[in-house]
Amino acid sequence: MKYVYKLLVLLMVSFVSCNQPCNCDQGKTLGKYVLVIHGGAGTILKKNMKPEVEKQYRDKLAEVLKAGEDILKKGGSSLDAVTKCITMMENSPLFNAGKGSVFDAQGKNEMDASIMNGEDLSAGAVASVHTIKNPILAARAVMEHSPHVLLISKGAEQFAARQGLEIVKPSYFFTEKRWKSYLKVKAKQAVGEKHGTVGAVALDKQGNLAAGTSTGGMTYKMMGRVGDSPIIGAGTYADNTSCAVSCTGHGEYFIRNVVAYDIGALMKYGQLSLKEAANFVILDKLKKQGGDGGLIAVDHTGHFTMTFNTSGMYRAYATSEGYNGVFIYANEENIKPQKKKMK
């Protein structure tokens, strides 16, 4: 009820409030940065994870985090940091995006990605692509070099080629691990691996927010199926007046609930904090519907959250205050306190 009460109070106040967005907190955050990344949420249990595999994930997340943080530390943009992080994860076979994408029902890799700039609400996305090495770069090209937001399939691939992006043969995306998963699911004639996605959100020193998401979708998904990752407002959203969000999970639920936008709307119109909004949507609203997954988000003041309702989510963060962390399993933050970064 407190969420409804806050929303009613805001609606009453709005009749006498200014129509311009409030930037009263912006001065407090200029010069600071925050970077949060994720590599997908789902049934991730320590008892099922071999130590050497766990180390591979932790090392890769740490490597990606450092590369993105280096950009922000030097005064680079949140867009560049997000793009760098996602590109690196797309190039790793560990994650269900780019090189590590799963196979659809036809035995093909079909990828989606999106990116959004919180400064001016510009956005770009691609869906159902098969030959673009880094879909996140194509999404950014759509945002910066076309009048559109979303391009799909061959049209997106032709556009990416004209932009000089690397085009590869479909065989590039083949990995033995994903193929075995495909054969296993095919034998059962069922859809699996709903939660494999990568994403990043960032606040840069100029106070600008950005978010991006990339995925290979679901194993054995129907050909042409598109989830929330390339849908602005569902899987990705960024607005300097509220927050930047990247989602991972069962995409149909995230689309129906317009999750990424809903987080920002609850903050702007319901006066909820970022954490309150994320907890309500992921732990209450989606959970009641049977929607599994999670999200990472950072608001315009530098607060961030990594919220999920599954047993794990590959995730990491870094801030200009010198704190960082790499996590995989649920409640791991409570087990391992935040530590100062090593210089």
Which tens digits make up the pLDDT trace of 218-277? 999 999 999 999 999 999 999 999 999 999 999 999 999 999 999 999 999 999 999 999
Between these two residues, 24 and 136, which has the higher pLDDT value? 136
- Closest among 39, 143, 152, 164 to 99, alpha carbons compared: 39
Q: Which CATH architecture does the domain made up of 25-340 adopt?
A: 4-Layer Sandwich (3.60)
Handedness of CA 70, 98, 237, 121 (dihedral sign): positive
| Cβ–Cβ under 8 Å, residues 36 and 297 | yes
Check residues 172 and 3 and name the one with the higher pLDDT. 172
Helix (H, G, I), strand (E, B) or coil at 186: helix
Tokens read off for 238: 């960024």
Please tell me whether residue 92 adopts helix, strand or coil conformation: coil
Q: Residue 196's pLDDT band (boundaries 50, 70, 90)?
A: confident
Q: Do the Cβ atoms of 112 and 229 come closer than 8 Å?
A: yes
Query: How high is the pLDDT of residue 21?
Result: 35
pLDDT above 90 covers a percentage of the chain that reads: 82
Domain-wise residue ranges, the chain: 25-340
Task: Please name every residue paired with 34 in a beta bridge, in sequence order, or none if there are none.
Answer: 203, 319
Share of the chain above pLDDT 70, in %: 87
Q: Side chain identity at 310, as an amino acid letter?
A: T
Residue from 6, 5, 30 nearest 203 by CA: 30
Q: Tell me which residues are annotated as active site.
A: 197
CA atoms 93, 94, 100, 105: torsion sign: positive
- The β-bridge relationship of strands 123-129 and 150-152 is parallel
Q: Which two tokens stand for residue 253?
A: 């639920």
10: helix, strand or coil: helix
pLDDT at 189 over 90: no
Q: Which two tokens stand for residue 20?
A: 């311009």
What residues form DSSP beta bridges with 339? 324
Question: Alpha carbon 110 to chain centroid distance?
Answer: 18
Beta bridge partners of 277: none
Region 14-20: what's the mean pLDDT? 31
